[in-house]
Chains A and B, each alone.
Chain A
């Protein structure tokens, strides 16, 4: 199974400041035949279901604000919130969908400093 790790576990950021979350996979999730990284990011706000934010490592889901961006390739990925808003308080999970079982990272909790 592909093991996903995230850092940090928790992150306190001031409103309007940048938040950066790292995700690492135990093996590459880059599929060479199409040059796509099978890596997604989900946001889970308190008391809500998870919501897909980013897929193919850097493509924003429809309706997701452009302050959210994803980057990285192979085994190392980053989710950046360029200017943190109050409504961004949530747990963020990375997930690989390269191969079954489709594993998630342990999550990073983002809160306001």
Chain B
């Protein structure tokens, strides 16, 4: 069974940084495409970005609103996905979901809440 457990959420001031982690189990992590999706308070779903497995280059793609501020990385030795968020803005306030997949998303974590406020 796919399990994805996010951690690292919290309150941060505008302009600050935060790193989310996602512990993955129940599937072969090192061959999996992984993504982050966020959901603003009372809002819909927004795809944030994805990372390919190292066998496919391990490269990343991002949505325009977070490009050049957010970085997705992975540690296959510990089955962990990361989302480094820099230069945070109030509009980045959201529940951030770690997901299995790149476009089609068959597995979701419970989410980590990030609040950007002064």
Residues of A within 8 A of B (CB): 1, 38, 40, 42, 49-52, 55, 61, 93, 95-98, 100-107
Query: What is the CA–CA distance of A66 and B21 in the complex, to the nearest angstrom?
Result: 36
Chain B positions 51 through 91: 1 when the CB is less than 8 Å from some CB of chain A, otherwise 0:
00000000001011000000000000000000000000000
Q: Write out the residue numbers on chain B whose beta carbons fall within 8 Å of the beta carbon of A95.
A: 45, 103, 105
Let me know if A49 and B44 touch, CB within 8 A: no
User: Any chain A CB within 8 A of the CB of B109?
Assistant: yes
A-B contact pairs, 15 of them (CB 8 A): A38-B103, A40-B104, A49-B108, A49-B111, A50-B45, A50-B97, A52-B104, A52-B105, A52-B106, A55-B106, A61-B106, A97-B102, A100-B47, A103-B47, A104-B46
Query: What is the CA–CA distance of A38 and B105 in the complex, to the nearest angstrom?
Result: 12
Q: A40-B104, A101-B63 are in contact. Are A49 and B47 (CB under 8 A)?
A: no
Query: What is the CA–CA distance of A40 and B105 in the complex, to the nearest angstrom?
Result: 9
User: Any chain A CB within 8 A of the CB of B25?
Assistant: no
User: Any chain A CB within 8 A of the CB of B110?
Assistant: yes
Let me know if B108 and A104 touch, CB within 8 A: no
Q: Write out the residue numbers on chain A whose beta carbons fall within 8 Å of the beta carbon of B111.
A: 49
Q: Write out the residue numbers on chain A whose beta carbons fall within 8 Å of the beta carbon of B103.
A: 38, 95-98, 100, 102
Let me know if B104 and A51 touch, CB within 8 A: no
Let me know if A93 and B109 touch, CB within 8 A: no
Query: What is the CA–CA distance of A103 and B64 in the complex, to the nearest angstrom?
Result: 12
- From A50, A96, A107, B108 is in contact (CB under 8 Å) with A50
Q: How far does the Cβ of A72 sit from chain B's closest Cβ, in whole Å?
A: 17
Q: A101-B64, A105-B44 are in contact. Are A49 and B109 (CB under 8 A)?
A: yes
